Amino acid sequence: MAPLVAALEAQGWSVWWDPEITPGDEFDGLISRELEAARALVVVWTPASVDSRWVRGEARDAADRGVLVPVRFDAAKLPIDFRAVHTTDLDGWGDDAQSPAFKGLRKALEAKLGAPHKPATAGAVGEKRGEVSICVLPFANMSGDPEQEYFSDGITEDIITDLGKVSALSVVSRNMAFSFKGAKGGVAEIGRQTKSAYVLVGSVRKAGERVRITAQLVNAANDAQVWGERYDRELKDIFALQDEISKAIVAALKLTLLPEEKLALEQRATTNVKAYKFYLMARQFSVMGNERHQEIIVRLCKRAVELDPSYAAPWATMAIAQWDMHRRSACVEDGQEAANRAIALDANLADAHAALGAAHQGQGRYEVGLEACQSALRLDPDSYEGNRVAGMCCIALRRYDDAIRYLEKAASVVETEFVASSFATQCYEAKGDLEGMRAASRRALSRVEKVIAVEPDHGRALGYGAGLLASLGEADRAKEWIERGTLLDPNNTILHFNFVCALARLREIEPALDLLSSVIDKASKGWLVWLDNDSDLDPLREQPRFKEIVAMAKARFAAEPQRD
């Protein structure tokens, strides 16, 4: 394996492989994180690996995601379900990068990844993007109040965003960096796992109107501090302080900012500290993904924009929350007005376009919604909301391959995410890919179970989890979750709708129709439109009672004008 890894790295590709795991690493979490982040997975078939259920499972997952590139050694007999997949035979390559076999592997990888970037020569640091790599670890909350976590996390995310504006830096993604939150491993180990030359660690202590931030930039190769500083400031200076920290890091790395980069670092979305705090609170609740928090998110965002009406980010976050609420009740805003306001304030804010796509999706305008999401993804290909909503639009349009691509991307962006990964399960099932469906269900369910362990009454997790259990054939456990969720959150329309989908997957037709009948009167217009396109309900569609329930509900909205 080592010669093959070395040959691939010599071509300019970044390679992670199992021997990089050190004693004490969290094996399952690290493997899962690396596999989900990989844009291509080279599975090496040998007589031993063919017999490994772990290797076969990883290969199946990679094939489902379209990232599998298999090779073979020692004339290994391929597993029967992979014999139709083109596999490069490397028995005769002789560690030679010029051999026909290795060139064939390179061609297969280029089809997935594009041409590799050759490593730069010495002295080229800072001349082009990617020469200096840095990982910003989540700043520790030293305030003595766990509820202040939102603030330290927000500071971290803003520093990641700021450093990402510097073309000479390659910054580890927010998702990867936050996966190390609370990790006990040393800086050198984290640098190695993230392939970062430098790691930024820090802490935030907020007390009243004062804030203390400490930051240290560490060379991951030798664990030596390159730069460090402690800042004691008034809270009103927080924006200037973030700018100061980012510029200090650039200076410590002996990089030169381009004029436009210097200007970008100095620009702030708001100069109102209170508006910033309320937005950070809203963003923290949004990450948690609990439907019960949507009203809180809207209230916090409304307060933020009252303080600074020109602050685009809370308008976008509010729009997403309103869209979520509108799917549960027709009596709330659908998010379109807030999304349009966010775009008018900052046309380069990806989440604003994603929010507009969500509003169109909620009204059944799936093509228009998809176009808005594609605008978001042109601005930020890693936008979680852009990928998630685009996937939902594609489900309604029955474009399942496109939906899987978007949803798998959304799931890879946020490690704790389970909504997009659950929808991906539905797409595999709709395609008739049962093996892919089971693999996706297991991945999503593992995330749901972690959420439920912390929040047993998390309605959204219970709803999607019941559907995943149904897909995996665990009928008794699915029904237990349905019973629990119905008691814990009796007024959550979307939760009950997800339970209808779970019962339909179990082919429990009459219980599914009974439950649908009990919640249909609370449905919004967009929710009813979604019923027409949700493949989960296909087992119910030819039932006369289903047609009657939906027709009666739609009749209530027939007189309402369609919103543009």
Q: Which of 490, 512, 492 is nearest to 501 (CA)?
A: 512
Strand duo 68-72 + 169-171: pairing? unpaired
pLDDT (tens digit, 9 = 90+) per residue, 272-329? Answer: 999 999 999 998 888 777 778 889 999 999 999 999 999 999 999 999 999 888 776 6
Q: What is d(CA 153, CA 159) in angstroms, rounded to the nearest whole number?
A: 10
- Would you say 473 and 483 are in contact if contact means Cβ atoms under 8 Å apart? no
Q: Which helix (H) or strand (E) holds 199?
A: strand 198-207
- Mean of the pLDDT values across residues 482-492? 89
- Mean of the pLDDT values across residues 158-175? 87
Query: Over pLDDT 70: what percentage of the chain?
Result: 90
Backbone φ and ψ for 216, nearest 5 degrees, come out as -135, 130
- Mean of the pLDDT values across residues 401-425? 89
Q: Is the pLDDT assigned to residue 363 strictly greater than 70? A: yes
Q: Is the pLDDT assigned to residue 24 strictly greater than 90? A: no
Per-residue DSSP letter, 46:
-
- If DSSP codes are grouped into helix, strand and coil, which group holds residue 136? strand
pLDDT at 559: 59
HSE toward the beta carbon, residue 442, CA cutoff 13 A? 10
Class of residue 187 by CB neighbours under 10 A (exposed 0-12, middle 13-18, buried 19+): buried
pLDDT (tens digit, 9 = 90+) per residue, 242-280? Answer: 888 999 999 998 888 888 888 888 788 888 999 999 999
Structure tokens at 113: 């990844």
**Alpha carbon 56 to its chain's center:** 25
- Mean of the pLDDT values across residues 435-448? 91
Q: What is d(CA 373, CA 177) in angstroms, rounded to the nearest whole number?
A: 25
- Would you say 330 and 525 are in contact if contact means Cβ atoms under 8 Å apart? yes
Number of CB atoms found within 10 A of residue 131's CB: 17
Cβ within 8 Å of residue 534, ≥6 positions away? 395, 396, 501
pLDDT at 355: 95
- If DSSP codes are grouped into helix, strand and coil, which group holds residue 217? strand
Q: Is the dihedral of CA 370, 376, 378, 384 positive or negative?
A: negative
Residue ranges and CATH numbers for the domains of the chain are 2-113 (3.40.50.10140), 132-268 (3.40.50.10610), 455-564 (1.25.40)
Structure tokens at 213: 């931030």
Structure tokens at 409: 């991307």
CA distances (Å), origin 338, targets 181, 312, 333: 33, 9, 9
- Would you say 345 and 312 are in contact if contact means Cβ atoms under 8 Å apart? yes
Rg (CA), the chain: 25
pLDDT at 523: 75
Q: Lowest mean pLDDT: which of 55-69, 337-351, 411-425, 498-512?
A: 55-69
Strand partners, 140: 203
Number of CB atoms found within 10 A of residue 54's CB: 9
Q: How confident is the model at residue 125 (pLDDT cuts 50, 70, 90)?
A: very low
pLDDT (tens digit, 9 = 90+) per residue, 168-211? Answer: 888 988 777 887 887 766 888 888 888 899 999 999 998 888 89
